[in-house]
Amino acid sequence: MVLNYQAPQEGHRGLIAEMQSYVELLTTEPARWLPEVAEWEQFDQEVVDHPHTVGACVFLSSVEACVVGFGSYDPRRAPEFGPRGHSCIIPEYHGRGLGKLQIREILRRLSARGSHTALCPRSAALGTSPRNGWTWRAGSVKQGRDPRREP
């Protein structure tokens, strides 16, 4: 399956906040996630209103013409490291490896900015990808070496 990436401004205002993965979180754990709704809506608005700053660090992911998710990252601490932001895939597309593709795209974009370490809190299941030179582990992702083997 091919995942295509596009600027969030190519979508409509509210698209990120409306992502079905967020809706699923609200129905499964409303007490935990309901307080986050205002932040999701604010993030969505900032992405659209500021395309050259925060909006430049967010991308929509699509399969054919259907937007299936989005990813984001924070390049402000490059080149030392870059935190991975959101990686959201709508439920109908779960289990197809698209989340991994989004994480790889985030890492590619951070690498292009000179970052060698990316904070990626849920990366433990992704393993090591020799093709792109990043070593992945929970808490951080490092390029070019395996941090588990360091003293």
d(CA 106, CA 102): 6
**Global pTM value:** 0.74
Q: Residue count of the chain, please give it.
A: 151
In the predicted model, is pLDDT for residue 105 greater than 70? yes
Strand order in the sheet with 58-63: 4-6, 58-63, 66-73, 82-89, 117-119, 140-143, 134-137
Average pLDDT over residues 103-114: 84
Least confident of 9-13, 22-26, 60-64: 22-26
CB 3 within 8 A of CB 98: yes
CATH class for the region spanning 4-115? alpha beta
d(CA 72, CA 59): 6
